[in-house]
Structure 1
Amino acid sequence: MDTFVLNAITQELQQQICLAKINHISQPDEQSVILGLWQRGQELRLAISVDARYQYLFLTRQPAPNQVFNFGKFLQHHIKNAEIRAIQKPLLERIITFDLVKKDIDGQDLKFRLVLEIMGRYSNLILINQDTNKILDSLQHVTAVQSSYRRIAPGAEYVPPPLQEKEELLNIDQTRFQQILADYEQEAQTSASACLWKFLIQRIGGLSPLLAKEIEGAHLDTSAEARWQRLSELIRIVREGAYQPTLILEQGQQGKQKPLALSAIPLAEFPHGKTCDVKTPDSMNAAAEQYYTILVERQRYDTLKATLMQPLTARLAKARKKREHLLAQKQQIDQAEDYKRQGELITTNLYQLSKGMNSARVIDYYSEDQALIEIPLDPKFTPAQNAQRYFKRYSKLKQGSVMTEQRLAATEQELAYLEEVQFFVEDAQNFYDLQQLRAEMEAATPSKSKKKSVSKSEPAKPAQPFLRFVSSDGFDIYVGRSSRENDLLTQRTALPEDVWLHVHKAPGSHVLILNRERKTPVPDQTLREAASLAAYYSKLRRSGRVDVIYTSKKYVRKPKGSPPGLVIVQEFQTLRVIPQANLTAK
């Protein structure tokens, strides 16, 4: 949030929440606070964040989570039921103060000041005693070792951030601006990396990169006069407080929107060359809420996705290495009969062998041509002892064959499950889907601690499981969205005559055509549409044509003790289709 967005929001807050009462305090996470306010018979919520990735302040009507951390508990104790008496902000600084008054048990006024400092990764929310100017507590503590200028900790005197030694925006006239441009041209002659918008930020206070680029106007008129006109218009808007909420969203895949810019000043430069949706909401608070709701959701999505993918990738690598080891072991076991045969051939030829020989050249009576073969011997042992060594190798390998086969089968099952979960995590469309997958992964790992973290809210139960579509012939088609949903779809929802589909030899969703009227066969068009869905909701989505298997549910069974989503298909047919999801969702 730049200072001009904060100016516009502060203007609106002064009109809407002055004299409002703080009746609830919660924290979505350790870097954010939501103040529940009661004003003129209606409930509002003021969202505040000092997260290093995004800092914001805006009014919202979204429900607040019933969650609070230590700082939130501290605020509840001190300012719950306090009244907001004043909201102030210097025009070109990103510091907002809320003057609060609360009655003590004797009816005396307790005066507090809540200070929001938005300064990138140094942002903070600080509660101060107005009478003493002493800090009561803050979201971020700053020690004297971390900053020699000011200490932010309980009991320390509050000192505002140091002023930046830049030119005052409102004092710049055309002559002074022309001199700044001339200074830049002089620097550009000696530095190939010189950049005008960065130079403007260094020289003029209050400018954000977004507005500095707007003044530079790389894709607009770049004359000195045109640049001055853009700067003078910015100065006029700030002086008059005539802010115009502007929100720019980029249209992404599958109708998703990516937030690109939030501004209190109309932007001509930024949308150049991009597929943008420029919105002008009724208020700056509404613009900020929409912008940061999308941004925070995306950040939470990316963070959780990375958190889930990291252990998945490690487990997959470990399982693949284990499979390689077991396959090598199985290959040795497959050679067990060779050891037995070599031991028997040595025993048959004991009369012509002696201790100290490195090999035995004997006739292989087990081969059709009875050719001469050479069997390695250990010269330290007698021929009979060498034969026994081969028999022992044979016995050891045969004894381990059953266990190796079982371990290999279990490892293959684990790999299939992990690859399927990895696909669902990669394909998850939103934060809620990832929450469901996290819960599934935690449930499938019973050895891990089941302690609940206060920072992780439990995902709500879905209104209905599965993606649901209707075929051209009117058949309902269900698609699983996770391994657990695949199990639920195939084991609990499907009836024997329903048609079950899955991409061939790749991770993906179970797909079910509901054939409740027992129409035999299901129309070919419906079958192909469902197969296209099975191909689309699989790891082979971006392939040209994909093989999809289909069969009646009665031929699909789940092995006892197998991981979620794993089934065995006794008989099936195959369709080759193009992955696509063109059906109408229910």
Structure 2
Amino acid sequence: MSFDGIFTRGMVNELNRTIVPGKITKIQQPYDNEIVLTIRANRKNHPLLLSAHPTYARIQVTDIPYVNPDVPTKFAMTLRKYLDGGVVTGISQVESDRQVHIHFRSRNELGDTQELLLIVELMGRHSNIMLVEKDGGKILDLIRHVSPEQNRYRLLMPGATYVAPPHEDRRDPLAAQADLSGLTRDLDRKTLQSTFQGLGADTASELVARLKDKPADQWDFIWSNFFAPITNDQPMPTIAETDQGKTIFTPFAYSLTTKPVAQAASLSALLDDYYRDKAQRDRVHGMASDLLRVVNNTLNKEKTKLGKQEKELAATEKADTYRVKGEVLTTYLHEVKRGMTEITLPNFYADNAPLKISLSNQLTPSRNAQKYFTRYQKLKNAVQFLNTQIKLAKEEIDYLENILSEIQLADPGDLGDIKTELTQQGYLREKKVRGRKKAKRTPLGKPEKFYASDGTQILVGKNNLQNDQLTLYKAAKTDHWLHVKNIPGSHVIVRSADPSDQTLTEAAEIAAYYSKARGSANVPVDTVEVKKIHKPNGAKPGFVIYEGQQTLYVTPKESDVLARRKKPETV
């Protein structure tokens, strides 16, 4: 489901209960299209996420951690200038449209009180976030500047006067007495969406299903009853599945067109559950585009080189044929005359079967024989070289595919470690720092912590540098190490000398989840004591060898893995 006008109303109600009144204590812009305002309300800090992402536009309180850039953006600096220390006095929605106004009261540089609006327009690729003076409507800044060439209806640039999006002549579905006049029994989804504001496709489809084949005199009751959870501020946040198998989120159960899968404690928690993986993957791909380009280009070159080497190796299988022809020619040299282009001689290696041999009419008989011996020796020498090169190429491909897997599984905060590793390995150029200033060294990220059911701590390295640090330096020799068998993935350490079978199984599920086999069933995971792990000299980061392992077979479930981030209360 999209974040439609109905869901927006539910979210506005929830935020008014949660963060109003509240004081802004921190303003950050971790990603291009997203702002996080930390608001102190009811003795608790609430990270309010405002997203103008073209696909995931939304407003919510989030518990998902984010990475703050070293250098703040111009928009973030503008927000800090005008809103830092200000108070959220209210949150409102424009009718039932996807427009949210967050009202602020703060003080300017002279200490005078000023009223400001942060306007969030949740309109797909036209989404935007803008800071506006409440009196006069002057735009102070926007997260996305839109030139007159892009939008002739209104100018969305700093200094311009704010003009609301074009008002379409559609009715408010959440009005106290919704106007249902003109609707007929052959009602369909598109008719509802063109008649009423803020109805997403899923909401309109559910309404049609509820109104279809019902007497017209019952429609008002059905309509008001359908929207009652929103109008009464009693939502039932639901993750559901459509008949087509698509997963959606709804503010309450759409019982006729979807099958409820799970419920959340709040609309914000619902969005965290729904977007946790989708939004993170999108953020990672956006931030890691340069890394992905370098790794993919190098990987393609290595695969092309490997193909050529394997082709050359296949050609060396003819080496013995050249040796046999050389020996047969040498044996019957007296029968070969200069100027011949071919000759058929008995092959004494194959019961004297006739063997046709091509000759050069420019060479003597002995030079023709020597030519075959030379070809044989050249191919024989190439076998050892090609086998060595093929082995190196396969190791390089495995390493690069492992890096790609790390990027796919990474959180935004893990990308710095991967970039450092690629720089150390020579895939990326190290940035030169002018003058005497030393390049700032980015500290290595910390492994992620999980807990087994009995409280045993489980540590997970999210990239090769973390894997090396965790396995080779931080883990005790008696700890237990886990890794998915023959598949790129994270190193997992169980901080126990004698873990229970259940703890090892739970750790194996975590190892499978943080691997390329995340979506697979019956994943093989090797486990062994850390003291049996060894790193060969000169091996690339993250590569180790081991023996004496036990293999467990598990199926990772995201809900179970993420639940292990919290230590069990009973322990």
Q: Measure how far apart 1:26 and its partner are.
A: 0.5
- Going from structure 1 to structure 2, the CA distance change for 1:70 and 1:458 (only over 3 Å counts) comes to farther
Corresponding residue for residue 239 of structure 2? 249
Contact 2:87–2:104, Cα closer than 8 Å, also in 1: yes
Contact 1:84–1:98, Cα closer than 8 Å, also in 2: yes
- Distance (whole Å) between structure 1 residues aligned to residue 342 and residue 154 of structure 2: 84
5+ residue gaps in structure 2?
433-441
Corresponding residue for residue 190 of structure 1? none
Corresponding residue for residue 373 of structure 1? 355
Contact 1:510–1:534, Cα closer than 8 Å, also in 2: no
Which letter maps to 1:295? Y
- Distance (whole Å) between structure 2 residues aligned to residue 78 and residue 392 of structure 1: 82
- Distance (whole Å) between structure 2 residues aligned to residue 368 and residue 361 of structure 1: 14
Which letter maps to 1:50? A
Q: Measure how far apart 1:161 and its partner are.
A: 0.9
Corresponding residue for residue 562 of structure 1? 539
Corresponding residue for residue 37 of structure 2? 35
Q: TM-score, normalized by length of structure 1?
A: 0.70
Residue 414 (structure 1) aligned to one of 384, 396, 405: 396
Q: Measure how far apart 1:29 and its partner are.
A: 0.9
Instruction: Say yes or no: does 1:117 pair with 2:157.
Output: no
Which letter maps to 1:2? D
Q: How well do the aligned residues superpose, as a CA RMSD in angstroms?
A: 5.3
Corresponding residue for residue 192 of structure 2? 200
Which letter maps to 1:269? Y
Instruction: Say yes or no: does 1:96 pair with 2:100.
Output: yes
Corresponding residue for residue 276 of structure 2? 297
Contact 1:102–1:110, Cα closer than 8 Å, also in 2: yes
Moved more, 159-168 or 391-400: 391-400
- Distance (whole Å) between structure 2 residues aligned to residue 362 and residue 77 of structure 1: 95
* Matched ranges for 1:471-482 at <5 A: none
- Going from structure 1 to structure 2, the CA distance change for 1:130 and 1:553 (only over 3 Å counts) comes to closer
Contact 1:423–1:508, Cα closer than 8 Å, also in 2: yes
* Matched ranges for 1:66-465 at <5 A: 66-67=68-69, 68-84=72-88, 87-109=91-113, 112-169=116-173, 177=180, 179-182=182-185, 185=186, 196-217=188-209, 222-233=214-225, 242-250=232-240, 260-263=248-251, 267-270=252-255, 274-279=259-264, 281=265, 287-303=266-282, 318-343=301-326, 345-346=328-329, 349-364=332-347, 367=349, 369=351, 371-418=353-400, 431=411, 438=418, 442=422, 445-449=425-429, 460-462=445-447
- Distance (whole Å) between structure 1 residues aligned to residue 123 and residue 338 of structure 2: 85
- Distance (whole Å) between structure 2 residues aligned to residue 476 and residue 12 of structure 1: 36
Moved more, 34-43 or 431-440: 431-440
Corresponding residue for residue 188 of structure 1? none
Contact 1:486–1:565, Cα closer than 8 Å, also in 2: yes
- Going from structure 1 to structure 2, the CA distance change for 1:49 and 1:479 (only over 3 Å counts) comes to closer
5+ residue gaps in structure 1?
186-194, 252-257, 282-286
SS at the partner of 1:217?
A: helix
SS at the partner of 2:50?
A: strand
Which letter maps to 1:53? T
Which letter maps to 1:247? P
- Distance (whole Å) between structure 1 residues aligned to residue 111 and residue 329 of structure 2: 105
Which letter maps to 1:448? L
- Going from structure 1 to structure 2, the CA distance change for 1:448 and 1:369 (only over 3 Å counts) comes to same
Q: Measure how far apart 1:208 and its partner are.
A: 3.4
SS at the partner of 2:312?
A: helix
Q: Measure how far apart 1:383 and its partner are.
A: 3.5
- Going from structure 1 to structure 2, the CA distance change for 1:380 and 1:530 (only over 3 Å counts) comes to farther
For residues 383-436 of structure 1, the C-alpha deviation after alignment (integer angstroms, 9 at most, x for no partner) is 44434543443454345444323211212323444566667778x5x8489769
- Distance (whole Å) between structure 2 residues aligned to residue 65 and residue 531 of structure 1: 27
- Distance (whole Å) between structure 1 residues aligned to residue 42 and residue 254 of structure 2: 41
- Going from structure 1 to structure 2, the CA distance change for 1:510 and 1:431 (only over 3 Å counts) comes to closer
Corresponding residue for residue 3 of structure 1? 5
SS at the partner of 1:74?
A: helix
- Distance (whole Å) between structure 1 residues aligned to residue 104 and residue 423 of structure 2: 46
Percent identical pairs in the alignment equals 25
* Matched ranges for 1:444-523 at <5 A: 445-449=425-429, 460-462=445-447
For residues 442-490 of structure 1, the C-alpha deviation after alignment (integer angstroms, 9 at most, x for no partner) is 46753214569xxxx98840255x99799xxxx9999988766776787
Contact 2:253–2:260, Cα closer than 8 Å, also in 1: no
Q: Measure how far apart 1:513 and its partner are.
A: 10
Q: TM-score, normalized by length of structure 2?
A: 0.72
Q: Measure how far apart 1:541 and its partner are.
A: 9.8
The count of aligned residue pairs is: 537
**Which is higher, the Rg of structure 1 or of structure 2?**
1
- Going from structure 1 to structure 2, the CA distance change for 1:577 and 1:230 (only over 3 Å counts) comes to same
Which letter maps to 1:386? N
- Distance (whole Å) between structure 1 residues aligned to residue 89 and residue 492 of structure 2: 59
Q: Measure how far apart 1:180 and its partner are.
A: 1.2
- Going from structure 1 to structure 2, the CA distance change for 1:132 and 1:356 (only over 3 Å counts) comes to farther
- Distance (whole Å) between structure 2 residues aligned to residue 99 and residue 477 of structure 1: 44
Q: Measure how far apart 1:70 and its partner are.
A: 2.6
For residues 51-78 of structure 1, the C-alpha deviation after alignment (integer angstroms, 9 at most, x for no partner) is 1122223346777754432311222234
